[in-house]
Amino acid sequence: MIRHIVSIAKILSLVAPQLAFSTVAILIFIRTFDLPRTLWWFHMATLLPLQCVFFWTWSAVGQRNNNAEKVWFRRFYVISLFLKSAAINLFFVGSYVSYQLWGAYVSRANLSVLIPHVEGFYLAVGSASLAAAGLLLLALAAYFYWLFKLAPRLVRWLQWSFAAPASSPAVAGLTVAAILVAAGMWHLNLDPAGTRRQDPVLCFWTNAAAGKPLMTPEMIADVEVESAYQIPTSFRRRNVIIITIDCMRSDHLSFRGYKRETMPFLARLAASGRLHQVDFAVSNGNESKQGILSALGSRYPHNHNLYNFKLPDLLKRAGYRTHVFGTGDHSTLGDMRQFYGPNIDVFSDGLSPRTFSVNDDRGLLESLRELAPSDGRPAFFFIHLMSPHSLAVKQEEFARWQPALLQLDWGRMILGGMSPDVGKNTYDNGLYQADHYLREILEQLAAKGYLQDYVGAIAGDHGEGMGERGNFGHTQYLFMEDIKIPILFLDSEQTDYGPMPFGSLVDIGPTILDRLGLPAPPRWNGHSLFRSSGPDRIFAVGKRDGEWRAVIRRKNGQLHKYLFFGKDRRNFRELLFNLSTDPFELHDLIGMGQSDLLTEMRQLAQAEFNFALPPNPRAIPAPLNDQ
Domains and CATH numbers, the chain: 2-206 (no CATH), 239-320+357-531 (3.40.720.10), 550-619 (no CATH)
- pLDDT for 208 equals 46
pLDDT bin (cut points 50, 70, 90) of residue 186 is: low
In this model, does residue 569 exceed pLDDT 70?
no
- pLDDT for 249 equals 96
Between 519 and 203, the more confident residue is 519
The DSSP symbol for 593 reads T
pLDDT bin (cut points 50, 70, 90) of residue 182 is: low
Cβ atoms 453, 238 nearer than 8 A: yes
The residue-averaged pLDDT of 223-236 equals: 91
SS3 300: coil
- Identify which of 265, 243, 276 has the alpha carbon closest to the alpha carbon of residue 451: 243
Backbone angles phi, psi at 459, to 5 degrees: -150, 160
pLDDT bin (cut points 50, 70, 90) of residue 246 is: very high
Strands (E), 309-426: 321-326, 346-348, 379-385
pLDDT bin (cut points 50, 70, 90) of residue 152 is: confident
The overall average pLDDT reported for the chain is 83
Cβ atoms 485, 431 nearer than 8 A: no
The residue-averaged pLDDT of 113-139 equals: 64
Backbone angles phi, psi at 251, to 5 degrees: -80, 5
In this model, does residue 2 exceed pLDDT 70?
no
- pLDDT for 519 equals 96
The residue-averaged pLDDT of 108-116 equals: 64
- pLDDT for 589 equals 93
Q: Of 99-103, 518-522, 562-566, where does mean pLDDT reach its minimum?
A: 99-103
In this model, does residue 27 exceed pLDDT 50?
yes
Q: Which amino acid is at 400?
A: R
Return the HEC string of 542-566: CCCCCCEEEEEEEECCEEEEEEEEC
Cβ atoms 106, 204 nearer than 8 A: yes
Q: Of 85-94, 257-266, 327-336, where does mean pLDDT reach its minimum?
A: 85-94
pLDDT bin (cut points 50, 70, 90) of residue 623 is: very low
Cβ atoms 97, 414 nearer than 8 A: yes
Which DSSP string corresponds to 30-48? Answer: HHHHT--TTHHHHHHHHHH
- pLDDT for 210 equals 41
Pairing of strands 239-245, 379-385: parallel
- pLDDT for 203 equals 72
- pLDDT for 7 equals 65
Using alpha carbons only, what angle is made at residue 250 by residues 403 and 588, rounded to the nearest 5 degrees? 95
The residue-averaged pLDDT of 197-201 equals: 72
SS3 16: helix
pLDDT bin (cut points 50, 70, 90) of residue 185 is: low
pLDDT tens digits for range 388-430 = 998 899 999 999 999 988 776 665 555 556 677 888 999 999 9
Between 294 and 187, the more confident residue is 294
CB count, 10 Å around CB of 587? 13
- pLDDT for 67 equals 81
Q: Of 50-54, 199-203, 473-477, 585-589, where does mean pLDDT reach its minimum?
A: 199-203
CB count, 10 Å around CB of 308? 24
CB count, 10 Å around CB of 266? 24
Between 195 and 613, the more confident residue is 613
Between 438 and 475, the more confident residue is 438
In this model, does residue 434 exceed pLDDT 90?
yes
Task: Name residues whose C-beta falls within 8 Å of residue 431's C-beta, 6 or more positions apart in sequence.
Answer: 245, 248, 252, 253, 262, 263, 387, 388
Instruction: Say how many residues make up the chain.
Output: 627
In this model, does residue 232 exceed pLDDT 80?
yes
pLDDT tens digits for range 295-337 = 999 999 999 988 999 999 999 999 999 999 999 989 887 778 8
pLDDT bin (cut points 50, 70, 90) of residue 96 is: confident
Separation CA 418–CA 405 (nearest Å): 11
Separation CA 530–CA 496 (nearest Å): 9
- pLDDT for 254 equals 92
Separation CA 125–CA 129 (nearest Å): 6
CB count, 10 Å around CB of 610? 8
The structure's pTM equals 0.81
179-188, 213-222, 310-319, 601-610 — most confident range: 310-319
Backbone angles phi, psi at 242, to 5 degrees: -120, 125
- pLDDT for 65 equals 77
- pLDDT for 175 equals 64
pLDDT bin (cut points 50, 70, 90) of residue 230 is: very high
Separation CA 289–CA 291 (nearest Å): 6
Between 89 and 377, the more confident residue is 377
Between 199 and 598, the more confident residue is 598
pLDDT tens digits for range 49-80 = 778 778 878 887 887 778 877 888 888 888 88
pLDDT bin (cut points 50, 70, 90) of residue 622 is: very low
In this model, does residue 196 exceed pLDDT 70?
no
- pLDDT for 437 equals 98
pLDDT over 90 percentage in the chain: 46
